[in-house]
Amino acid sequence: MHYPPLHDTSLDSLAGAALPDRSTMTVGSSRVAVVDYGAGNLRSAARALARAGADVVVSDDPATIATADRIVLPGVGAFAQCIRQLRERTGIEAALDEAVNQRGTPFLGICVGMQLLASVGHEHGVHQGLGWLPGIVTRLTPADPALKIPHMGWNRVTAANASGVAEGHAYFVHSYRFDPEDPADVRATSDHGGAFPAIVARGNITGVQFHPEKSQAYGLAFLKNWLTSPPPSQGGGRGEGLSVGEGRNAVNTLPPAPSLAGRGSL
């Protein structure tokens, strides 16, 4: 079923909409693939991308993924479960490597999809990640023992390393954090009893710990800018093509944290 870009419909109003299945959708001339590996909130991600103006194909087909113009890897659950399910889907990891690492296809990992970029994850054992951004995934350890884990709810995103990422409030649901080996890969942070990376990026690879699809205006602006920013090979630089920073899709202020009324966890 074809799912055209949505420009005037709120994300919440799409709750009953059918999920697009293997149909092509574009931003301009771009096709965006959301990877179906059995461990992502596919409907929420697809709807958010459509709301941002994208045309999306949700697919577990390696050829479809490898030839997409942009790729989104959602992730919900534990690192061990997600990396196992990804690798159990024949050909998906190789297709991702071909597209992202060999051809420079813009890539966005969401929540655990971001954490899978790491070299290794320490959740339910020690597990090898994709290793695209060398680093480690470990449990959040707030300095204030009264702070609950998982970290769940709205929190501020603050630019790091002069990245130009605009600041705002985003919605988080996680118990683990991804720390890249190279501090320059951290483009924004948030805080839950201590700072942790909220956005990481290098070249065409971007990851966000928050959920853009649940982050209302801030998340929508982030997705719009990621969808329309040129890949590094087309004029971007380290970490560009990711920000909600300067430009027509910017979120330049810190709005009050939106109400959580009626919004459950993912």
Amino acid in position 209? Q
Q: What is the Cα–Cα distance from 91 to 145, expressed in whole angstroms?
A: 43
Of 111, 169, 174, 192, which is the active-site residue?
Answer: 111
Indicate if 82 belongs to the active site. no
Q: What is the Cα–Cα distance from 4 to 158, expressed in whole angstroms?
A: 33
Indicate if 211 belongs to the active site. yes
Of 169, 174, 192, 211, which is the active-site residue?
Answer: 211
Of 82, 151, 213, 240, which is the active-site residue?
Answer: 213
Distance of CA 100 to the CA centre of its chain: 15
Indicate if 151 belongs to the active site. no
- Catalytically active residues are 111, 211, 213
